Amino acid sequence: MKAPLVELASVTKTYGTLAALADADLRVRRGELLAIVGPSGSGKSTLLNIMGTLSRPTHGRVRIGGHAVEELGDRELSALRATHIGFVFQQFHLAPGVPALDSVADGLLYTGRPRALRRRLAERMLRRVGLGARLHHEPHQLSGGEKQRVAIARAVVGDPPLLLADEPTGALDSASGATVMELLHELHRAGTTVVIITHDRDIAAALPREVRIKDGRIEHDSSLEAVRA
């Protein structure tokens, strides 16, 4: 059996006396599509930051793509993120005045590829997400749904095996949100492992696996329930 793409073992994250995450165990297999769901303050953003190697745990072990995070220095962690993990956030983080093509190409800045190749790959990805007619549009010329599709294209243009999407539909209307969710499903069907962090129980319930977190603890994992059943 292949090793999990993401593995957390007894992971705790504390800030002073506050435990934002407590004794979390989680395995994510390659090719999965799952939701981590919980209310504000539940610990799901802390869990995302640890899965994305943006934060180190206070206690416990984290492995991403077979790499033990606790054994890596900051430079090695940056390299791991650049090659293994794409991030999508509720806020699009698109720089004002920068066209979509350049925003997506910037997602490849640290790969060592020449500029012309970065732009070709960016154009290909923007066409894949349905924005072939918006290559040179700046953020103020795009709808909310289009901005999120640019952000997703930037996150996956380097073909990372893992995509972490934090409330990807939170700033969108229902129609744009549905379009973004279908795009995430399409990326999953193409082989990307997709983890969606959300407070929306309807989104979570519609995915193949649902992990619920509350008060810093994982209280339900539908994949474990299925095994027990």
- Whether residue 189 lies inside any domain: the answer is yes
pLDDT in the model for residue 229: 46
pLDDT above 70 covers a percentage of the chain that reads 97
Q: Identity (one letter) of the amino acid at 193?
A: T
Strands 217-221 and 209-214: antiparallel
- Whether residue 198 lies inside any domain: the answer is yes
Residue-number span of the structural domain to which 125 is assigned: 31-54+88-228
Spans of the chain below 50 pLDDT: 227, 229
pLDDT in the model for residue 226: 52
Which CATH number covers residue 217? 3.40.50.300
Q: Indicate the number of domains in the chain.
A: 1
Torsions phi, psi for 198 (to 5 deg): -155, 155
Handedness of CA 34, 78, 154, 44 (dihedral sign): positive
- Whether residue 43 lies inside any domain: the answer is yes
DSSP per-residue string spanning 204-216: HHTSSEEEEEETT
Contact status, residue 162 vs residue 84, Cβ threshold 8 Å:
yes
- Whether residue 101 lies inside any domain: the answer is yes
The model carries a pTM of 0.92
Task: Report the alpha-carbon distance of residue 62 to residue 204 in Å, rounded.
Answer: 24
Q: Identity (one letter) of the amino acid at 31?
A: G
- Whether residue 99 lies inside any domain: the answer is yes
Torsions phi, psi for 132 (to 5 deg): -60, -25
Q: Please, what's the b/e burial string for 164-180 (b: 16 or more CB within 10 A of its CB; e: otherwise)?
A: bbbbbbebbeeebbebb
pLDDT in the model for residue 118: 95
- Whether residue 37 lies inside any domain: the answer is yes
- CA-nearest of 181, 139, 220, 184 to 32 is 184
Strands 67-68 and 59-64: antiparallel
Task: Report the alpha-carbon distance of residue 20 to residue 30 in Å, rounded.
Answer: 27
- Whether residue 67 lies inside any domain: the answer is no
pLDDT above 90 covers a percentage of the chain that reads 88
Q: Which helix (H) or strand (E) element contains residue 13?
A: strand 6-15
- Whether residue 92 lies inside any domain: the answer is yes
